[in-house]
Chains A and B, each alone.
Chain A
Amino acid sequence: MALGLSVIFGMLRIVNFAHGAMFMLGAFVAYYGAQLFHLPFYAALVVAPVVVGVFGLLVEVAFLRRLYGLDPLYGLLFTFALVLIIEDAMRLAAGALGSPYSAPPSLAGVTNLGFTVFPTYRLFVIGAAIAVCAVVWFVLERTPVGARIRAATEAPTLVRALGIDTQRLVSITFAVGVALAALAGVLAAPNQNVEPTMGDKIIINTFAIVVIGGLGSIGGSVITGFAIGLLQTLGAVIFPAFNDTLIFLVMIVVLLIRPSGLFGSPASAK
């Protein structure tokens, strides 16, 4: 489980809190969709990211855009405020207790992999995560749009001088990132309760992954995400009591040995 999510999040190289809230909203859209409109799981995989993505776009255009010229810490703080509002709004609307959301019957049960049996749904999540990563990687590295996005993050002034609307690129990238967070939320929903605080743990883990991986290549983030996910899966078996702390211990060790992260260059560590 952690595997799939870590990869999607690590890949986005998220440095703000809002994605945790969007992850939670994605799960809630799926949940309410199923409750009110009998929205099937596969449809929710499309609907939730679109709904939340549009919401994210509105937030970006209306608020976050005003903070770009400032210290990036203000962006972090604003998204923290957003999390507080969204979390408590959902507690007000849905109650603090979680609600169950079940996976479609076709994905229930276990699959025999030959050497071991594995819950089918987890296989599905891992597969979906790999697919999403592949698509994002392809778009970023192999298409003109991806080239522009990469250029815009590296040298925004120059890109603007070439007549490209960087503001719009940033908005679209943010919306897509938020949509992916919502997609992760839908994928996570069947394995845990849908509850207002479900985004908190995942976002803090993601922070640790980003710190461990460093601001390097997308590949680096994916490898880190997978490694951490694997470690947590193993940790859950070997010493379950302290499984939650494993990722932070890894982070400490990495920071002591390589302050800029495993795949980060020292220059980008600042």
Chain B
Amino acid sequence: MTLALLGSRRGMTVAIVLAIVGALLPWFVYPVLAIDIVAYALFAVAFDLLLGFTGLLSFGHAMFWGGAGYVATILIAKAGAPFPVAVAAALVYAALSAVVVGVIAIRRQGIYFAMITLALAQLQYFVAFQLGDWTGGENGVQVSSRGTLFGIRLDDDKVFYYAVLVVAALGVWFVVRVVRSPFGSVLGAMRENEQRAIALGFRVDRYKLVAFVLSGTLAGLAGVLFAVGNRLSGLDGVDWHTSGKVVIMTILGGIGTVFGPLVGAGVYESLDYFVSKTPIGDKTNIVMGTIFALCVLLFRRGIVGELLALRTKRAKE
């Protein structure tokens, strides 16, 4: 049911609408906010590859997002590395740390998987905190110039936004391809019934690990776009609240729907921005937490999931 949207004509329409929204976004909101939205959208889709399509809830994805952000900004700020080199190094870091976390965490399931990923992400947080010489501690790492990509200067926020949009779109396309591949079918089978997948001869731990590493690496890519976009990476990025944030976005949008997390990230970031302009100020979690609580209690399928369910219901009548 959830995949019905992908590949159908309607799915194409939705993709085109999202592309148009993406292209026009920086003309309606601050370009840096637009970068945030798109980076978080990619983050949420990467996360959903794990939660929605593999059935694993990680509560430590900030580790890859923030960790890769650190690697890229440190290389750019301290070593003067060109943008593509910094991105590549950050992706390698994200992938390697995802292998390590994955190997440890997939030994347990469900709620324990969530707790282990959270604990390991916290380990990285404390290390980042202690390595203040590299990470700048509370101040973070600042980047003065983003550098160039294919000879184009990235320092203009709108220019960088479109670079981010293209990279994020490629990332989402990649996730769609993975989900619709035979590999993706095995992931779905594991999510629905792990025992049966084992009985069919699949080595589920390997599949889980590969899904985890793919998800972590893409989360790292999103984190790099975010950190370089904001010209800053700090402890916020590796904090467990960030791990929670991507969980909220994904579930708010609708798990296992690909488009859902995109919508969830957009709704979350814009709402967060508008609430922060009210007297509540930076205590936006009062509102975001309430929305998420209602979401978990009342509409667990998320925005896109509920819309799809509504459409299926109508089609039946």
Q: What CA separation (Å) do A156 and B53 show in the bound complex?
A: 31
B residues in contact with A84, CB < 8 Å: 241, 244, 285-286, 288-289, 292
Q: What CA separation (Å) do A241 and B109 show in the bound complex?
A: 32
Give the contacting residue for B297; candidates A67, A87, A248; CB below 8 A: A67
Per-residue A-contact encoding for B103-118, CB less than 8 Å = 1, 0 else: 0100111111011101
Contact residues of B between 88 and 141, Cβ < 8 Å to A: 104, 107-112, 114-116, 118-120, 122-123, 126-127, 129-130
Verify A77–B119 contact, CB threshold 8 A: no
B290 adjacent to chain A (CB < 8 Å): yes
Stretch at the interface among A88-96, A110-118, A122-130, A178-186: A88-96
A88-B104 contact, Cβ under 8 Å, with A73-B111, A77-B247, A270-B109: no
A-B contacts, 12 listed (Cβ < 8 Å):
A63-B297, A73-B110, A74-B300, A82-B289, A84-B241, A84-B292, A85-B285, A89-B283, A211-B116, A242-B126, A242-B127, A255-B104
A residues in contact with B251, CB < 8 Å: 77
Verify A242–B130 contact, CB threshold 8 A: yes
Q: What CA separation (Å) do A251 and B225 show in the bound complex?
A: 32
Verify A245–B285 contact, CB threshold 8 A: no
Verify A85–B286 contact, CB threshold 8 A: yes
A76-B114 contact, Cβ under 8 Å, with A84-B292, A85-B290, A255-B108: yes
A residues in contact with B292, CB < 8 Å: 77, 80-81, 84
A66 adjacent to chain B (CB < 8 Å): yes
Interface size on A, residues (CB 8 A): 43
Interface size on B, residues (CB 8 A): 39
Total A-B Cβ pairs within 8 A: 110
A78 adjacent to chain B (CB < 8 Å): yes
Identity of the chain B residue whose Cβ is nearest the Cβ of A259 in the assembled complex: B107
B residues in contact with A241, CB < 8 Å: 130
Verify B119–A248 contact, CB threshold 8 A: yes
Contact residues of B between 12 and 54, Cβ < 8 Å to A: none
Verify A81–B126 contact, CB threshold 8 A: no
Q: What CA separation (Å) do A256 and B120 show in the bound complex?
A: 13
| Chain A residues near B (Cβ < 8 Å) | 15, 63, 66-67, 70-74, 76-78, 80-85, 87-89, 91-92, 200, 204, 207-208, 210-211, 241-242, 244-245, 247-249, 251-252, 255-256, 259, 269-270
Verify A211–B112 contact, CB threshold 8 A: yes
B240 adjacent to chain A (CB < 8 Å): yes
Which of B129, B285, B300 has the most chain A CB within a 10 Å cutoff?
A: B285
Which of A248, A251, A256 has the most chain B CB within a 10 Å cutoff?
A: A248
Task: Given contacts A72-B110, A259-B107, list 13 more A-B pairs with CB under 8 A.
Answer: A73-B111, A77-B247, A80-B244, A82-B289, A84-B244, A85-B293, A88-B285, A88-B286, A204-B240, A242-B130, A245-B123, A248-B119, A255-B108
What is the distance, in angstroms, from B291's C-beta to the closest C-beta of chain A?
A: 8
B residues in contact with A83, CB < 8 Å: 289
